[in-house]
Amino acid sequence: MRPGLHRFTHFLNSAENLLQQANQQPNPSLWLLKNNGRTPFFMLEALAKLYEAFHHKKIFKKLRENHFKIIEDGLGQLDYYDFYISEFENIITVPRTAITYIKDQFQKKSTELNELLLKKGWIGEHNNRIAKIHKKLDAVDWKKEKKEVKFLLNYYDDEIKEIIDFYKKSDSPFTQLEEQVHELRRKLRWLSIYPQALLGCVQYTRSGHPPENLNKYFTEEIIHSPYNVFPEAGENRHFLLLEKNNFLALSWMINELGKEKDKGLGLYLLAEALEQTEKTDSNYAMVRAGEILLGNAKARDQILQNCHSICNAYFKEGSLQQLVQGIAVARA
């Protein structure tokens, strides 16, 4: 089996196992959320995104947009509401009416996802979606491992250039959480997801002592993160090499932006809930949300400033440009 097909098959099998169990539950989408059902779809989306770029664009774009991304997004929305329900319930100053509104949104999205899972054949009596995808993938003329890794090298280089250009074109400081901060983090995060999805064909170089300017990134949280442990090489013979110190710096960057992003999305969600439940002006709702959650009427502006400061320092150091180190071939 060619490596590309093996990767898709691996995560499709994981998804199928979870879906079979979810199919026996009264609320399949909720069960998937609570049992890490998002991960295999996230990995499948990552693989489709890669293979769309350097293989059969039409096939993999359709798989990504019409199948994997829709389910991953649906579970992501549930995770979003579930996270903030838990957060807000522990804050006594958050109005109970706002929490009820958010819970209603959660239930609505859960129902919509259950209907989608059923309609698209992921679950239910006619759950043939994964079988159809396997059939589609079996017909692909998969490329050899050596050629795939060469494409992967060019892909990483192109993505890094695009990320840097995106940052340079953004407002200074940032003015938009979703369109700038969240989108930049998404782009960076894909670079850290691909090694997990590719099941061993991405490995670290043997890194020496890190440059002094990178030491601040090596927190206990980052050093011991399971997301920074790459899958073992397995049967792969050709590898893309990433410099470990720079990858850990990237991981720190994604993590820190994520913390600020979570604060910001919480503000927007609470402001939406206040606006809807109290029929108040959107600007006033944002001010009040900032006061309730962070004790700062201008919390949104502060979060955007924090994100800009984090990004400015990181991109000035040029660590991202030094992430990719080349290609290696295993000795026979």
Residues 101 and 172 both lie in one domain: no
Residues 102 and 161 both lie in one domain: no
Residues 159 and 305 both lie in one domain: yes
Residues 165 and 305 both lie in one domain: yes
Residues 173 and 282 both lie in one domain: yes
Q: Tell me the pLDDT of the chain (332 aa) as tens digits.
A: 789 999 999 999 999 999 999 999 999 999 999 999 999 999 999 999 999 998 888 999 999 999 999 999 999 999 999 999 999 999 999 999 999 999 999 999 999 999 999 999 999 988 999 999 999 999 999 999 999 999 999 999 999 999 999 999 987 789 999 999 999 999 999 999 999 999 999 999 977 777 888 889 999 999 999 999 999 999 999 999 999 999 999 999 999 999 999 999 999 999 999 999 999 999 999 999 999 999 999 999 999 999 999 999 999 999 999 999 999 998 76
Residues 26 and 133 both lie in one domain: yes
159-187 exposure pattern, b = at least 16 Cβ within 10 A, e = fewer = bbeebeeebeebeeebeebeebbbebbeb
Contact in structure between 313 and 187 (CB atoms under 8 Å): no
Residues 123 and 180 both lie in one domain: no
Instruction: Decide which of 100, 119, 138 is a domain's last residue.
Output: 138
Range of the domain at 72: 3-138
Interior angle at CA 130, CA 28 and CA 142, nearest 5: 145
Residues 265 and 284 both lie in one domain: yes
Residues 133 and 153 both lie in one domain: no
Instruction: Decide which of 138, 173, 190 is a domain's last residue.
Output: 138
Residues 89 and 172 both lie in one domain: no
Two tokens, residue 79: 């995770």
Residues 82 and 149 both lie in one domain: no
Tally of domains within the chain: 2
Residues 210 and 318 both lie in one domain: yes
- Rounded Cα distance between 263 and 88, Å, is 12
Instruction: Decide which of 138, 165, 192 is a domain's last residue.
Output: 138
Q: State pTM to two decimals.
A: 0.95
Contact in structure between 55 and 4 (CB atoms under 8 Å): yes
